[in-house]
Amino acid sequence: MLKDGRFGAYGGAYVPEILMPALEALEAAFLDAQTDEAFQAELAELLAKYAGRPTPLTRCRNFGAGKARIYLKREDLLHGGAHKTNQVLGQAMLAKRMGKTRLIAETGAGQHGVATALAGAIFGLETRIYMGAHDVERQHLNVFRMRLMGAEVIPVTSGGQGLKDAVNEALRDWTASFADTHYLLGTVAGPHPFPLMVREYQRVIGKEARAQILEEEGRLPDAAIACVGGGSNAIGLFADFIEDADVRLIGVEAAGKGLDGNEHGATLLRGRPGVLHGAETYVLQDGDGQISESWSVSAGLDYPAVGPEHAFLKDSGRAEYVGVTDREALDAFALLARSEGIICAFESAHALAHALKLADEVDLIVVNLSGRGDKDVAQAEALL
């Protein structure tokens, strides 16, 4: 490896030895492509003309009763329906560059699976998506979208049949298939270089949002808020604000049915450092180190680990992490629909719910609306 892949004490590459050459090849390809003008030009063109960047920064006209002006970074309008498309295009281009013919990926809510499926379609790569059987059930619309775009969806029946188990299965596949297959990991978790690489491909969110809020308001926001499952949309929003010490960076974890119980996905708030899925990071676990099952109404936040850079940002105090319950998120989801005519993903609704809480405290808030909610409407109908 050219870099140690560490964010303070967190990160690294905890994988079977046989995968190390694949990670090294990926790191080299990524670093090389970062300074390759032709690669960057092709990626920029895809982001603009295929995916629809830049996405708007929308000022809420009605949402939020407090004093704060709330702006939404509209990743829900990105092609594919979520911020995931930003980084799958970069990784799929790297896969081609490395001569791979096949993509594998894990997915929780199905958003990353959909994004990987579309990248596979564009680049002519055979695509297999691992998805927890429980998530296949609650996100069947996305399962159908993936299959429409030619991806094979494999329901994973081990463990809690969720995102964690889908990652396990994808890693197992990769230990056998790395010669011709790229593991297109969906978030800023996993072994080095994924947390670094996915952050760089998602950085565009915050880069645009920063310029747009300066254009609209002539100043930086008081707070930038995003939901955190693995943490890619949050890192994408935060990355270009990290040097702006006056901007509060707030990551919102799934408090599920409440932080006092065991049914939540609040890894940074209730976990402790450990190793899962290739990285040293906060993990929900018991006293022995067995991984706990997480819970969230939103499949994308239902994950017992978190990207290692978030662990570092928490310990260093640069970012704050809070929890929002299923109920609060559903209320925010419904309120946004009624007040702004926007149906957002359950994941993003967690960030919105915290913006509502903060609206009396600060004046100017940017919320990353990381995905649209079509996938969640059937579940919402049953829950609301």
Partner 1 sequence: MKRCAAMFAREPGVFGAFVMLGDPDLATSAAILEQLVAGGADMLELGIPFSDPVADGPVIQAAAERALRAGTTPDDCFALLAAFRARHADTPVGILTYANLVLGGGRDHFYRRAAAAGVDNVLVADVPLFEAAPYAAAARAHGVDPVLIAAANTPPERLREIAALGGSYTYCVARAGVTGTGETVRFEHAGMLAALRAAGAPPPVFGFGISQPDHVRAALAAGAAGAISGSAIVARVAAGQPVADFVAAMKAATIP
* Given 176, 246, 260, 381, the residue binding partner 1 (CB under 8 A): 176
Residue nearer to partner 1 on the CB measure, 74 or 164 = 164
As measured in angstroms, the least distance from the Cβ of 271 to partner 1 is 11
User: What DSSP string describes 181-229?
Assistant: EEE---SS-SSTTHHHHHHHHHTHHHHHHHHHHHHHHSS--SEEEEE-S
83 noted as active-site residue: yes
As measured in angstroms, the least distance from the Cβ of 180 to partner 1 is 11
Longest dimension (CA), the chain: 56
As measured in angstroms, the least distance from the Cβ of 71 to partner 1 is 39
Residue nearer to partner 1 on the CB measure, 16 or 124 = 16
107-116 burial by CB neighbour count: b if 16+ within 10 A, else e?
A: bbbbbbbbbb
Residue nearer to partner 1 on the CB measure, 70 or 156 = 156
- Choose one: 72-80, 110-118, 175-183, 358-366; the region binding partner 1 (CB under 8 A): 175-183
* Given 37, 288, 317, 341, the residue binding partner 1 (CB under 8 A): 288
Q: How far apart (Å, rounded) are the C-alpha atoms in residues 348 and 301?
A: 10
Contact of 336 with 199, CB cutoff 8 Å: no
* Given 90, 108, 278, 373, the residue binding partner 1 (CB under 8 A): 278
Q: Are strands 126-132 and 248-256 parallel, antiparallel or unpaired?
A: unpaired
Angle formed by the axes of helices 326-340 and 346-358, nearest 10°: 90
Q: How many CB atoms lie within 10 A of CB 341?
A: 9
As measured in angstroms, the least distance from the Cβ of 263 to partner 1 is 17
* Given 116, 142, 168, 187, the residue binding partner 1 (CB under 8 A): 168
* Given 130, 178, 183, 282, the residue binding partner 1 (CB under 8 A): 178
Residue nearer to partner 1 on the CB measure, 14 or 123 = 14
Q: Are strands 10-11 and 102-107 parallel, antiparallel or unpaired?
A: unpaired
Name residues whose C-beta falls within 8 Å of residue 138's C-beta, 6 or more positions apart in sequence. Answer: 299, 379
Interaction of residue 175 with partner 1, rule CB under 8 A: yes
Interaction of residue 26 with partner 1, rule CB under 8 A: no
Residue nearer to partner 1 on the CB measure, 106 or 347 = 106
Name residues whose C-beta falls within 8 Å of residue 130's C-beta, 6 or more positions apart in sequence. Answer: 104, 105, 106, 107, 154, 156, 166, 167, 169, 170, 173
Q: How far apart (Å, rounded) are the C-alpha atoms in residues 84 and 74?
A: 13
Interaction of residue 73 with partner 1, rule CB under 8 A: no
* Given 68, 171, 196, 268, the residue binding partner 1 (CB under 8 A): 171
344 noted as active-site residue: no
Token representation of residue 284 = 């929900």
Site for partner 1 in 124-163 (CB under 8 A): 158-159
Residue nearer to partner 1 on the CB measure, 62 or 175 = 175
Q: Are strands 248-256 and 223-227 parallel, antiparallel or unpaired?
A: parallel
Residue nearer to partner 1 on the CB measure, 38 or 176 = 176
As measured in angstroms, the least distance from the Cβ of 30 to partner 1 is 17
- Degrees (nearest 5) of the Cα angle 298, 301, 302? 85
Interaction of residue 233 with partner 1, rule CB under 8 A: no
Site for partner 1 in 188-227 (CB under 8 A): none
Interaction of residue 41 with partner 1, rule CB under 8 A: no
* Given 179, 211, 214, 384, the residue binding partner 1 (CB under 8 A): 179
Reported as half-sphere exposure (CB side, CA atoms, 13 A), residue 195 has a value of 28
As measured in angstroms, the least distance from the Cβ of 23 to partner 1 is 9
Q: Interface with partner 1 by CB under 8 A: which residues?
A: 1, 12-21, 158-159, 164, 168, 171-172, 175-179, 273-278, 283, 285, 287-291
